[in-house]
Chains A and B, each alone.
Chain A
Amino acid sequence: MSTRAAPLQAKAQLRGRGRAAVVGLERLLGPDYRMGILFVSPIVLLVLALVAYPFCYAVYLSMTRKYVGLPPVWVGLDNYVKITWDGFFQRAVANSFIFTFGSVGVKLVLGMAMALVLTSEIRWRSFWTGVLLIPWVAPTVVSALNFLWIFDYSLGVLNYLLVRVFRLLPQGVGWLSEPGTAMASVIGVNIWRGFPFFGISFLAGMKAIPGELYEAAAVDGATALQRFRHVTLPGVKNIVIIVVLLSTIWTFNDFQIVYILTRGGPGGATQVLPVFTYEIAFGAQRLGEAIAVALYMLPALAVVIIVLARYMRRGRAK
């Protein structure tokens, strides 16, 4: 048919000749375009309405002075400039980094140990994996409330154990009310909740390493440490990178644990960016400024997301 040679002609024939039109569209949009576009359109709508549009609106709002219920007033980059020099904001940024890197670092070590133990010859493996994953599936709010009760100064079980049962301390510690222990406590709860995800993901990665590699290493006389260093680590490298980056995003944006346990206290000692954002938006009712706080780390976040998305897609392509 002549439609193949002349695109303009093809366009003209679109209306008149159904078959030719379909062939033309298939060449332009791909062989499965009808079902493909139909099936993917709900996601397109959803991403546009629930993510892309709110995101653009957020960028706009961050450049306005906006109070709940009032129209926004354009102020350019004032919000960003203002919060940059704000001591509370600076502290929240510093705390967010401490919270994130403290949690992710320990989760990495703990998860790796968990995966290594579970790949060794061990009984009831599925029982251990099953139970150890429970903190990950349980509602985070419930876990945070449990720990709030465990950490309680006068009636909490942690002080009871340390003071009365094991006699390690002369008196109880205000875990969440003293600046020195509050950050460590919220980090501890985040680790408790998050390490199983590291362990199970690493375990899946280790299982995928061909057994012949270990046999070959054993024949060559490699020690356990050398096998870990030269066989296990390279085998799980991609998964480690993906899990660490994923967890970095999640931990940096974790709202519930700090909100429930300390609300950023005492005296701002555990104030992290998501809770700070919430307080400015719904405590102080300054929406524009709150969004500027939320978006301040966007360039860094965007880099992490893009790198991570690359790794995740590459992991799939194999």
Chain B
Amino acid sequence: MGRGRMPSKTALARLQGAVSYAFLLGLLLVVIFPFYWMTVTSLKSEDQMRSLVSMFWPSPFVTDNYRHLLQKTDFAAWFGNSVFVAVSSTFLATAIGTIGAYSLARLKFLGRGFMASATLITYLVPPSILFIPLYAQIRNLGLADSLTGLIAAYPSFTVPFVTWLLMGYFESIPEELEEAAMIDGATRFGAFWRVVLPLSAPGVLAAALYAFTQAWNEFLYALVFITDVKLRTLPVGLSTFITGDVYGWGFLMAGAVLTTLPVIAAYMYLQKYMVEGLTAGSVKG
């Protein structure tokens, strides 16, 4: 009986394997294609794009789109704005989030449970509810139409996320390590600074990267708060390239490539931490 079933089982396993790989390959194609298409488009000439020849490969390769983008649009200024806003708000969010998360994860004081819940709920409140009152507030403070206004507003979503992610990280570090350090004479702060923080460096790095990505990708606040063309960030700036006419697509896609590059580069380099961070941020595996 066993002999009769063995071959069919391996055949089944082989079939299962083939279906699995086919499924993954299909997903891979669907996931990658838009990025491939964006890159190819950015390197095509206007003539080629209009004539539908050699659809999937640039012939000839041209860099006109990139030149046009950097010389005749405000793209370079937008890039600078995005870097400035994303880097500043990442530092802010990581600093505030790290100490806050340690406090909420470890220290015992009145109101800790309440603040932990408040932070989590803040993380879950969507920007589409807050953007109008925040805009009114930023305007009243005289920060409308300034990058400072964006840097002030972005912590509303980056800080709760960083805090929630790192709370999980700090909770997973054995408390005994800190206790041992304090018995050896370290202060509470010393235990945090010299024991907990170095051990959680990967978590802090993942949190900072996500904060950066969120700030870099943010669209709604940047669209609403900023009206000055020169002060736009990349996502909003790029979206203003939609004109519906053929000639825009080449440099629009060139802009898309340059906007995606920093995020994807950081992700490829630090993929392991980010995948771990992602799952820790929503749920702990």
Q: How far is the CB of B234 from chain A (nearest CB, A)?
A: 8
Residues of B within 8 A of A148 (CB): 242
Q: Is B5 an interface residue (CB 8 A)?
A: no
Tally of contacts, chain A with chain B, CB under 8 A? 287
B128 partner residues in chain A, CB cutoff 8 A: 253, 255, 273-274, 277, 294
Q: Of B124, B189, B278, which is within 8 A of A133 by CB?
A: B278
**Is A267's CB within 8 Å of the partner chain B?**
no
Q: Does A23 contact B (CB under 8 A)?
A: no
Residues of B within 8 A of A287 (CB): 132, 136
Determine if B99 and A42 form an interchain contact, defined as CB atoms under 8 angstroms apart. yes
Classify the secondary structure of A's interface with B. Answer: helix
Set of chain B residues within 8 Å of A140, measured between Cβ atoms: 217, 219, 235
The minimal Cβ–Cβ distance linking A239 to chain B, given in whole angstroms, is 5
Q: Does B239 contact A (CB under 8 A)?
A: yes
Q: Which of A51, A121, A152, A200 has the most CB of B within 10 A?
A: A51
Say yes or no: A137-B274 contact (C-beta < 8 A), given A29-B110, A145-B238, A305-B124.
yes
Alpha-carbon distance A50/B263, docked complex (angstroms): 26
Residues of B with C-beta under 8 A to A291: 132-133
In the assembled complex, how far is the CB of residue B207 from the closest CB belonging to chain A, in whole angstroms? 14
A37 near B: Cβ within 8 Å? yes
Total interface residues on B, CB under 8 Å, equals: 99
Docked Cα-Cα span, A315 to B120, in Å, equals 13
Complex: how many Å from CA A152 to CA B285? Answer: 41
Measured in the bound complex, the distance between the Cα atoms of B127 and A278 in whole Å is: 12
Q: Which residues of chain B in 127-162 are interfacial with respect to chain A, using CB atoms and an 8 Å cutoff?
A: 127-134, 136-137, 152-153, 155-156, 159-160
Q: Chain A residues with Cβ under 8 A from B156's Cβ? A: 46, 50-51
Quick one: which of A146, A148, A287, A295 has the most chain B CB within 10 A? A146
Bound form: Cα–Cα A38–B109 in Å: 11
Interface residues of B: mostly helix, strand, loop or mixed?
Answer: helix
Select from chain A the residue with minimum beta-carbon distance to B99.
A39
Contact with B along A87-114 (1 / 0, CB 8 A): 0000000000000000000000000011
Q: Are A129 and B112 in contact (CB under 8 A)?
A: no
B248: min CB distance to chain A, Å:
10
- CB of B275, distance to nearest CB on chain A (Å): 6
Query: Within the complex, what minimum Cβ distance (angstroms) separates A293 from chain B?
Result: 10
**In contact, B52 and A155 (Cβ under 8 angstroms):** yes
* A6 at the B interface (CB under 8 A): no
Q: Are A46 and B110 in contact (CB under 8 A)?
A: no
Within 8 A of B (CB), among A265-318: 273-274, 277-278, 281-282, 287, 290-291, 294-295, 298, 301, 305-306, 308-309, 312-313, 315-316, 318
Residues of A in contact with B, size category: 35 or more
Q: Which residues of chain A are within 8 angstroms of B282 by Cβ–Cβ distance?
A: 197, 201, 242-243, 246, 312
Contacts of B246 in A (CB 8 A): 155
A148 and B267 CA atoms in complex are apart in Å by: 25
CB pair B104 A128 closer than 8 Å = no
Instruction: Convert A111-145 into 0s and 1s, putting 1 for each residue whose CB lies closer than 8 angstroms to a CB of B.
Output: 00110011011100010111111111111111101
Q: How far, in Å, is A233 (CB) from chain B's closest CB?
A: 16
Q: Which of the residues A38, A130, A142, A201 comes within 8 Å of B259, measured between beta carbons?
A: A142
Chain B residues within 8 Å of A207, by CB: 285
- A282: chain B residues within 8 A (beta carbon): 224
Question: Given A57-B137, A113-B23, A250-B126, are A313 and B120 neighbors across the interface (CB < 8 Å)?
Answer: yes
Judging by beta carbons under 8 Å apart, are A204 and B256 in contact? no
Indicate whether A260 reaches chain B with its CB closer than 8 angstroms: yes
Interface centre among B100, B124, B156 (most CB of A within 10 A): B124
A residues 158-183 with Cβ under 8 Å of B?
A: 160, 164
Q: List 21 A-B contacts (CB under 8 A).
A: A35-B189, A51-B130, A53-B137, A57-B137, A117-B24, A120-B16, A128-B24, A131-B32, A139-B259, A141-B239, A148-B242, A149-B252, A155-B249, A192-B34, A200-B275, A201-B283, A204-B279, A250-B126, A259-B219, A260-B239, A274-B220
Q: What 4 pairs between A and B have smallest CB-CB spacing?
A: A204-B285, A36-B109, A253-B126, A39-B103
